[in-house]
Structure 1
């Protein structure tokens, strides 16, 4: 397969132009610019006041190797340090253009300026050098949503099989969702040889458990319960399956990229103190963004109840473990892991299908979410005291 060679040496599998708004007031202008030019993606942060977590997500999404160029759209009076945002993204070697609505003459003038810039950047991106790319060059994120009783015996084990295969071939895989791994402490600790990493893991699990107790709610939704899951431990055992069986090489924080190939755990649970309950993961789109912000080229997303979400920057491959859901939501699903439940395919056969689909998507084949235009994302406020970025 071929990848797009970026100035910082990283390889991308998509060639997007990112249109980033830095306050909700600039959202409409940025969205109109992106919608007018095929190949452009819009995302941003709604808040007027600066937030370290959101700032870091915007920087890492802008620097992502699936992005060829960036247009930043600001209103002009927000508190976010937009000049620093532009400078940090530019440091990756990408072309970054800034539109300030209040200085450009308002919405129409800004949109026209943005359309011209976006069209020019798309043409330039099409000339980007491509080079040979292997599985070992990929970073793959793993996420689940809308889990049910089938997830732990179909979609998640098949994804785990694929994760093991990817790690064996030198790829980098990131899994996360510590609040959905509670009760799996011994299994996780048994996969870590480094004592410092064990300490980080225990600390993260303690924070996740403390968070659940303070909120009086753990990561089991009404939909999970209707799908047959009864406890967080039961859900956790199924969720752990999607991380395969390989050793855990390290633990990273949002916005950090793995230092080498292997399997990594992304810790998104912030510090807890007596004055403040940390922000926790708001929804699946928040989870997808953190994985992409840590460099994931592609996301493997397992579901049993069903999910429609895609994301910006990196394609999302949907893996459905419930055969009824596979048939009912066929347009949204890429891989029918429900075949495992019905006995027509094995875990290994579906796992191999996942690996093969990763290669096809990396070569440019659109996922179902891409075909349907699903580009959901979510970047919330996460104050620095509540979310250590490392």
Structure 2
């Protein structure tokens, strides 16, 4: 298939051509959202907190630099503690245009909205002039997430996604999967796939912190919905979740907002780091999971489910793969790939994986996913205190 993408000033490849409207405090959220709703082609996101947060700041920088973003309009109130000028400057390093509105200086909500619409519309017109270039699967970074899992997930949707992941990596693509707390019980399998001792050591450390987090939260990533869907233990859920990562070696470990340096398979470690006194307590959710994959550069997201999910995301399209044939029928409006034929015996894992691979190519070429058509843009950047924002430095 002839795939075309947008080559950015920093050399990265985008498969969408959005203008981002970023708010820097909850007080600016309504103005930013109103600007975005008035200008098609824009994506609104931001950080609600009034106080500076290292984790959120770095996430906003990387989302602003995202290859699916052509330009950035930042909307601030004017008295938040986030260093908005530094945010604009760091996003601008990517070579894309960045403009800033301060509501207190612009004259309030109405004046800021009108000014913002004018700026955003101009950025959209400029973005439409960006030349598209031929791209291949090797230009893609794919994020893989699961949510609303049930007993079918590990038998159908996740293995089919894993089949496609293997083919993507063979074609030179980069794939990132995450959810260390949902991989407990797979320790030996994960470690056997580590590409070297350094990766194995980081995996071991990450699994140790994930277990400590589960003990501290008194839950091991098995929800009531998982149990109702037939999953009984974290080990059972984990074995199914690991299937979506295929069979290739794990090339490296990333922390949130770190990008992979080379093609291959990566795991995103979102669990806070242990220090001498505490573990950062934070329970993950699907929206946060997708945003962290975006901040590591994923231009397209795969989301497997059994119970069903409506989740979409800002900036990048989300492809929904459902493993439960009954759910896929009931939630047909939300599901892109019905993997339920594997359960019913009418399709093989390879059949559904090949269908998914073709859809990935079409979406990369511009076809909209169900979540995009419906306007689903679930999104969250929470405060993550302590050392949740620490990054690997070697």
Q: Which residue, 77, 80, 92 being the options, matches 1:78?
A: 80
Q: Which residue, 33, 55, 58 being the options, matches 1:56?
A: 58
**Contact 1:26/1:73 (8 A) holds in 2:** yes
**Contact 1:18/1:71 (8 A) holds in 2:** yes
**Contact 2:217/2:281 (8 A) holds in 1:** no
Q: Look up the match of 1:233.
A: 235
Structure 1, unpaired ranges of 5+: none
* In 2: Cα distance, 1:282 partner to 1:74 partner: 27
Q: Which residue, 17, 22, 25 being the options, matches 2:24?
A: 22
Q: Look up the match of 1:330.
A: 332
Q: Look up the match of 2:70.
A: 68
TM-score (norm. length: structure 2): 0.98
* In 1: Cα distance, 2:171 partner to 2:154 partner: 25
Structure 2 counterpart SS, 1:249: strand
Q: Which residue, 283, 286, 289 being the options, matches 2:288?
A: 286
> Superposition RMSD on alpha carbons, in Å?
0.9
Q: Which residue, 112, 115, 122 being the options, matches 1:113?
A: 115
Q: Say whether 1:266 aligns with 2:268.
A: yes
Q: Look up the match of 1:379.
A: 381
Q: Deviations over 1:317-361 (max 9, x none)?
A: 000000000000000000000111111111001000111000000
Q: Deviations over 1:162-201 (max 9, x none)?
A: 0000000100000000000001011011111311111000
**Contact 2:272/2:279 (8 A) holds in 1:** no
Q: Which residue, 140, 163, 166 being the options, matches 2:165?
A: 163
1:94-243 alignment, distance < 5 Å = 94-243=96-245
Task: Count the aligned residue pairs.
Answer: 390
Q: Which residue, 29, 34, 37 being the options, matches 1:35?
A: 37
**Contact 1:257/1:294 (8 A) holds in 2:** yes
**Contact 1:254/1:291 (8 A) holds in 2:** yes
Structure 1 counterpart SS, 2:384: coil
* In 1: Cα distance, 2:229 partner to 2:7 partner: 44
* In 2: Cα distance, 1:140 partner to 1:52 partner: 25
Deviation at 1:387, TM superposition (A): 3.2
**Contact 2:156/2:343 (8 A) holds in 1:** yes
Structure 2 counterpart SS, 1:79: coil
